[in-house]
Chain A
Amino acid sequence: MSFLKNSELHEGGIIREAGNAHDYQTGDWRTFVPQFVEENCIHCMFCWIYCPDSAIDIDTSGDKPKMKGIILDHCKGCGICATECPPAKKGKAALVMVREEK
């Protein structure tokens, strides 16, 4: 990550590029990583609505929204998605937390 020089700052410290935190990677904070088991997924979007890090990749082009996977650059591995996953409550989890090997 590079820091801005004083001469590159905008007056008043204003950040002109809205949403530039998207380029910041928080994925390396993780210990556990959610693994997506596609055949168990019912595309209910619960993981997407409950994710604190906007890290669930979904496809909204079709008739129904579809879960595509995890955005690993942003996922902090908290496990909320795996806890809230409805198929997991029936023993067929679509998201499983596993320890990440680096």
Chain B
Amino acid sequence: MAVNLKQLTQHEELLTGGHRACAGCTGSNILRQIMLTAGQNTVVGGATGCMEVVTTIFPYTAWRTSFIHSAFENCAATVSGAETAYRALKKRGDLPREETGRKNFIAFGGDGGTYDIGLQSLSGAMERGHNMVYVCYDNEAYMNTGIQRSSATPLGAFTSTAPAGKVKQGKEQNRKDLTKIMVAHNIPYVAQTTPFHWKDLATKVEKALAVDGPAFLNILMPCPVGWHFDTAIGMQLAKEAVESNFWPLFEVENGVYKINQKPKERSPMENWMKQQGRFKHLFRPGNEAILENIQTYVDEQWEKLLKLEEMTAK
């Protein structure tokens, strides 16, 4: 399944311009790239969040496919329902013949709608084994409502509900590893990627859509508003998140781990963090210990991942 840009340019653009995402938003680019690969025969559902709001401000929609609105907590349930209804109608012969081909069902949720609020419905849908793909665009906080902390926010990051001041220095807990929680559901395909790695992303979307059963994609989405960086460098930050092992590119196919990119020499977390305003306070004197904690945590997680790859290799 080799993907190249020339092929992708031949595909139909299913997310139009004119949506109201912020300038420099890498999230709308994630949707675009996924839809380029998924194609017209796709039913999309969106949990409340940045991407649902900006693409469908009434009376406009930026989607050239069908799109279903959902509340924060039930996007996976909505899409799994649509998928079941489609199967039932097909079985009963209630669909016109041209509609009985393969359809893709994709649910989109932000990290708030996936890691926190929508976790129960996501877990249910994955356990029931629906033929759907759940995509989490992870910008590491509730950006749409004003940058509140979520369980995806990394240690030390500034958010409006975990601020940095004289007493506290941003979020005090490490982020939750949702990708591994999804692996624990023993579903056929789980992967992690970023929009900078378009080839990796397109391949993973293709694989996720091709499997029989549920698949989960976790995609890092640098957010210029919440992470406080210049709008032009969003994609570079996605790249550096991978180079520093903060966001490793890996996939788990039927329980077998595969790391898609191993940096020859991992770059220190500081280089990545220095470019983001949300970590600014950590570079003040007295916060060296937090910086060290962050680096240790990232290195530990990477070591674990290497071991998992080795352990599950066939």
Task: Please list the residues of chain A having a beta carbon within 8 angstroms of any beta carbon in chain B.
Answer: 3-4, 9, 13, 15, 17-26, 29-30, 44-46, 48-55, 58, 60, 64-65, 71, 73-80, 82-84, 97
A-B contact count (CB 8 A): 131
Are A26 and B18 neighbours in the complex by a CB distance under 8 Å?
yes
Are B18 and A24 neighbours in the complex by a CB distance under 8 Å?
yes
Interface residue from B8, B18, B25, B235 paired with A74 (Cβ < 8 Å) = B18
Are B56 and A54 neighbours in the complex by a CB distance under 8 Å?
no
Q: How far is the CB of A63 from chain B (nearest CB, A)?
A: 9
Are A78 and B60 neighbours in the complex by a CB distance under 8 Å?
no
Additional A-B contact list (14), CB under 8 Å, known A50-B196, A84-B236: A19-B61, A19-B63, A21-B57, A21-B61, A24-B60, A50-B195, A51-B29, A54-B13, A73-B18, A74-B17, A76-B22, A78-B25, A83-B235, A83-B236
What are 18 residue pairs bridging A and B, where the CB atoms are less than 8 Å apart in the complex? A15-B58, A18-B63, A20-B60, A26-B17, A26-B20, A45-B9, A52-B26, A52-B28, A54-B13, A60-B10, A64-B6, A65-B5, A74-B18, A78-B231, A78-B234, A80-B234, A83-B236, A84-B236
Residues of A within 8 A of B26 (CB): 52, 80
Q: A45-B9, A80-B235 are in contact. Are A21 and B18 (CB under 8 A)?
A: yes
Residues of A within 8 A of B24 (CB): 52, 76, 78-80
A55 to B20, alpha carbons, bound, how many Å? 13
0 or 1 for each of B129-148: is its CB under 8 Å from A? (1 = yes): 00000000000000000000
Find the A residue at minimum CB distance from B55: A21
Q: How far is the CB of A14 from chain B (nearest CB, A)?
A: 10
Are A15 and B10 neighbours in the complex by a CB distance under 8 Å?
no
Residues of A contacting B: mostly: loop
Find the B residue at minimum CB distance from A64: B6
- Name the 10 nearest CB pairs between A and B, nearest first: A74-B17, A79-B232, A78-B24, A76-B23, A21-B62, A24-B18, A19-B64, A78-B231, A78-B23, A22-B16
Residues of A within 8 A of B32 (CB): 51-52, 54
Residues of A within 8 A of B19 (CB): 21, 24, 26, 53
Are A15 and B56 neighbours in the complex by a CB distance under 8 Å?
yes
Find the B residue at minimum CB distance from A82: B232
Residues of B within 8 A of A15 (CB): 56, 58-61
Question: Is residue B220 contacting chain A, with contact meaning CB distance below 8 A?
Answer: no
Are B16 and A60 neighbours in the complex by a CB distance under 8 Å?
no
Q: How far is the CB of A26 from chain B (nearest CB, A)?
A: 6
